[in-house]
Amino acid sequence: MIYHIITIFPDIYHSFLNSSLIKRAVDSDRISVRIYNLRDFAKDSRKTIDAPPYGGGAGMVLMAEPICLAINSIKKGKDVPTIIFSPKGKLLDQKSVREYSALSEVVLICPRYEGFDERIITLTKATELSIGNYILMGGDTPAMVFIETTSRLIPGVVGKEESIKNESFSEDDYLEHPQFTRPQIFQGQKVPLVLVSGNHGEIEKWKRDPHHN
């Protein structure tokens, strides 16, 4: 999977891309993350990418031209799915994560400030996507969420396939069972006896009991 990220703050991604499983996925070429500074596509010497909204209002709005230029530069005529993060977008859930993880390439637009010129959606055929019913300072955090949730479903990114298969939301909105580890008794709290019984059939029944979720 190739992730193309259009952002105003490319430095935000340095630690994210150089840590843990994401770094391993990049180093092993299972994913590629390409970051584009939106200001590089501004037309004027001041690198202007935003302007006051027509009709008045607080804050600044991202202009359509720099974003469209960035997308054209990335796509080069190819049909690459494009996502723009927005509070009014479709909610990202595990079902859509599975669908997106099958893509070979995707463009992620990360807005900032008061929002973006609505014409961007029409001109780029972008899908609006939200990660929850709350307001963030911009689209970079949702982009990282998108990369992490989709890339971990790509074969080889997470070490054990069982980790993916048995986790929360892997099927029918199933929530993963509670987890316990050593010691068996800690501050008077005991591990459920069935988990140390050695009876694998009963252990599997316990794990599937919805009362644990």
Beta bridge partners of 189: 186
Kind of pairing between the strands at 82-91 and 105-109: parallel
132 is in an annotated binding site: yes
Question: Rounded to 5 degrees, what are φ and ψ at 161?
Answer: -60, -30
Cis check for the bond before 183: say yes or no (omega within 30 of 0). Answer: yes
92 appears as a binding residue in the annotation: no
Looking at the chain, how many residues does it have?
Answer: 213
- Per the annotation, does 133 bind a ligand? yes
| 54 is an annotated ligand-binding site residue | no
Please tell me whether 134 is known to bind a ligand.
yes
Distance, in Å, from the CA atom of 101 to the CA atom of 187, rounded to the nearest integer, reads: 42
Phi/psi at 185 (5° precision)? -125, 125
Give 200's contacts (C-beta < 8 A, 6+ positions apart): none
Residue numbering of the annotated binding site for S-adenosyl-L-methionine: 131-136
Residue numbering of the annotated binding site: 131-136
